[in-house]
Amino acid sequence: MQKNAPIAGQIAIVTGGSRGIGFSIARRLGRLGARVALCSRTASAAKRAGDLLRSDGIDVRGWPADVSDAKSVRQFVARVQKELGDVSVLVNNAGIGVFHSVQNIDETDWDLVVGTNLKGAFLMSREVAPQMIRRKEGHIIHIASLAGKNTFAGGAAYCASKWGLRGLAGCMAEDLRAHGIRVSTIFPGTVHTEFSPHHGKDPSRMLQPDDVAHVVEMLVLQAPQSFVSEVDLRPAQKP
């Protein structure tokens, strides 16, 4: 935790927080003073991430949740509220990618990608919004991708989910801004994680998970009378 702990005591949820970008975001928010609740699909992964972050001095809980399932989301958010309090920061980071041509992707994979990347952000945001509306403050941050602004062969499900997330975030911002709630979306380029190994590319030239976490920090520390709608994040050199 930083000495001045600018968001000390705030409750933050990070979905998909057991590894990669989500883990880095959870660590960054914890170091800023937030009490963090992270979720992962499995209890073992959530617990392992929580244990690692606690060893770094962060006040964190790691619990399982399937963001594509309304009941699971509802139970997770209720547990966070009961054990920690009302949520001030929500980072919708959980994401998955299955890459096939549109004529070859099957319905199961389509539903998995869109259900996690798009429906998951909707369900989690809908669940925490009443807490934020009641308190007249809050910040919802979506981790999208530059694939939400560009297309490529084999990316039908993934791009559709990220383009949809951009539209969801824009509408959400208009729905919630009158209640003092800020909505921001980060569009990272190529990030070096287990999720996207990008064979043949130079990892040293790729974005790192902590680069995305740094943008999250900038957003949550933005002056309260304004908010940043979108951030495009690219590596300094092409990988």
Residues whose CB falls within 8 Å of the CB of residue 126, separated by 6 or more in sequence, listed in order: none
Q: Which of 13, 152, 158, 52 is nearest to 97 (CA)?
A: 158
The SS3 of residue 91 is strand
Burial of 194 (0-12, 13-18, 19+ CB in 10 A): exposed
Rounded to the nearest 5°, which phi and psi values hold at 59?
A: -80, 100
| Catalytic residue flag (residue 59) | no
User: Within 10 Å of residue 73's Cβ, how many Cβ atoms?
Assistant: 24
- Tokens 């617990």 sit at which residue? 47
How far is Cα 120 from Cα 123, in angstroms, rounded to an integer? 5
Angle among Cα 225, 122, 216 to the nearest 5 degrees reads 45
**List 23, 122, 158, 187, catalytic entry:** 158
Handedness of CA 145, 150, 154, 158 (dihedral sign): positive
Catalytic site positions = 158
